[in-house]
Chains A and B, each alone.
Chain A
Amino acid sequence: MSEVLERRDAVARLLADRGDLLVVTGLGSPTYDVHAAGDHDANYYLWGAMGGASLVGLGLAQAQSSRRVLVITGDGEQLMALGGLSTIAAAHPTNLDIIVLDNEHYGETGMQTSHTGLGIDLAAVAAALGFEDSRVVTTTEQLAQLIADRAVAATGPRLAVLKIRAENLPRSMPSRDAVFIKNRFRAHLGLPPN
């Protein structure tokens, strides 16, 4: 891999001016990266349910159509839901952005090479499915452009693959109590626990 981003820095930049953004994270390092950028009531962290992050994002986007939803997940997690990208494209939400932090490896389980390391291009998949915007980001300049572009309202789902260095950073762990995080998230939206 040639030029790549540092994951914690990239995620911190994505969330620096998050405004009223609602964030869903994929299990493993993306959950730690988002937590490291600052815990927030409007974050829903997944610690399991591999393949579910972007679809949790879809359901949330459909329920909260006036809020922008950002899913931050990893290449392995998103690869498990290639079909889910079809479902998202068909549902065509206008408030859902997906960020794939792509180190081309299964970082949590021993750094085995993933499909993206074997030539599978997730941005090209999203483009073929009709995502409004789909791109690969490898430099801080491209990241700054992405952040500027994502601040503009969309007319369909958007996906960006951020190529990042394959490394295991110290974990920054949010609560693993899914009920607590759920109730905190719903309270942020003015919703009761049930």
Chain B
Amino acid sequence: MDELAAATEINWPAGVHEVFRRAGVGLVTYVPDAGHTALIELCAADDDMVTNVLTTEEEGVAIATGAWLGGKRSAILMQSSGVGNCINMLSLPVIARVPLLLLVTMRGEWAEFNPWQNPMGRATQASLEAIGVTVLRAETAVDVVETVEQATTMAYDGDQQIAVLLGQRLLGKKRW
């Protein structure tokens, strides 16, 4: 079993981190979400990656564009509620054809206790597609790693703007 298969076997955050390393992702920005905790920790601990915590998710879109102008590949981690904060800023990578990779943990779609998450959860995919971002979904740990792996090719080699939505079913029920 190679590193990627081994990492995937254990957990998807380790698999995605390995995919980021192989794709040469050197910058990871995020507004924290519980579903991203392990991946954020792995990236922050990686000497080859710079991590920026954001006050709002749209900052990550602008940072990713600047990083690409300077030759660095990046990824943005956010929760579905944060997608709504990004819409106008997404004009920038879309119109400049700058590679963009968003990993979005979903809320409001599976065993959701907090109804305030539901409206943006419903709007996430539609609003990303409306602004011109390609949306892929992943529902299992293996799915996540494979989907992110191919999304890195579409983004960095194909100049596409890609969001991978990580289903709430995968992330499990939040304990209150």
Question: What is the interface of chain A, defined by CB distance below 8 A to chain B?
Answer: 22, 24, 44, 46, 48-53, 55-64, 67, 81, 83-84, 86-87, 90-91, 178-179, 181-182, 185-186, 189, 191, 194
Q: Is B50 an interface residue (CB 8 A)?
A: yes
* Contact call A60/B66, Cβ cutoff below 8 A: yes
**Contact between A62 and B72 (Cβ–Cβ < 8 Å)?**
yes
CB of B149 to closest CB in A, whole Å: 18
Contacts of B64 in A (CB 8 A): 59
Which residue on B lies nearest to A52, using beta carbons?
A: B62
Q: Could you tell me if B27 and A63 are in contact, using CB atoms closer than 8 angstroms?
A: yes
B65 touches A59 (CB 8 A): yes
Complex Cα–Cα for A57 and B66 (A): 6
Residues of A within 8 A of B89 (CB): 49, 51-52
Residue among B53, B54, B66, B158 with the most chain A CB within 10 A? B66
- Shortest CB-to-CB span from B158 to chain A, Å, is 8
Show the binding face of B for A, using Cβ within 8 Å.
26-27, 50, 52-56, 58-59, 61-72, 74, 88-89, 91-92, 95-99, 156-159
- Most chain A CB within 10 A, of B59, B61, B72, B157, is at B59
Q: How far is the CB of A29 from chain B (nearest CB, A)?
A: 19
Kindly provide the distance from the CB of B157 to the nearest chain A CB, expressed in whole angstroms.
Answer: 7
CB within 8 Å for A194 and B159 given contacts A58-B66, A63-B27 = yes
- Cα distance A11–B27 in the bound complex, in angstroms: 31
> How far, in Å, is B159 (CB) from chain A's closest CB?
5
With the chains together, A46 CA to B174 CA distance in Å?
41
Q: What is the bound-complex CA distance between A182 and B71, given in angstroms?
A: 11
Distance A87 CA – B71 CA, assembled complex (angstroms): 21
The listed residue (B63, B96, B156) touching A182 by CB distance below 8 A is B96
**Which of the residues B26, B71, B92 comes within 8 Å of A186, measured between beta carbons?**
B71
B92 touches A48 (CB 8 A): yes
